[in-house]
Amino acid sequence: MKKSQTILYLVRHGETLFNTQGIIQGHSDSELTNKGKKQAEDLGNLFKNIAIDEYYSSDLNRAVHTAEIIKRNQLEPTKIDKNLREKCYGRFERKIFTELKVLDDLLDTVDKDKRLSFKAFPDVESDSEVAIRMVSFIKDSHSKKKNKTILAVTHGGSMRSLLLYLGWGTYDSLPPNVVKNTSYIKLLVRNEKIEVVESVI
């Protein structure tokens, strides 16, 4: 008997105004730029020959807008899932990226095997907290949509946290901001196993 599986494409949203200004977004939001819209159109062209059964997005507008552009005129509705949200940066949101150096400096003081769960401040999500909710979305989608192909628009920080959690890379090989706008990773999900089969970041 053939094992059930799910193919899942996780996509980062297009460029936003805050991206161009070097401002930390997290759970805050800003609109796609014209370049960001074009990036989403280009990604839609890339995926046009792939039969996508379900479209998902985080509830943040920049992701929803990207998903709608990728879908174009397809009637399949975009399903919203908060588990796909960006990492929450709490007190650092809407500030400039250089202010995140304090988080990087604190992380450098932590043993490598404890970095995933390290929580620098109560209002800043750890990488494991982000990854666990991402995995929850992935496993829930698989249980409901076996043998389907899903595209989900999410965020760069969340994708990085997931890759770190899955052991696909390390903090050295996956530095902050490594996942560029409209980059994607392709996952193959069989039962409880999540495998990264392609990464274009």
**Active-site residue set:** 13, 86
Q: Would you put residue 85 in left (φ > 0), alpha (ψ -120 to 50) or beta?
A: beta
Q: CB count, 10 Å around CB of 49?
A: 6
* Rounded distance between C-alpha atoms, residue 191 and residue 90, angstroms: 34
Q: How many CB atoms lie within 10 A of CB 48?
A: 10
How far apart are alpha carbons 146 and 144 in whole angstroms? 6
Short-list 198, 175, 201, CA closest to 186: 198
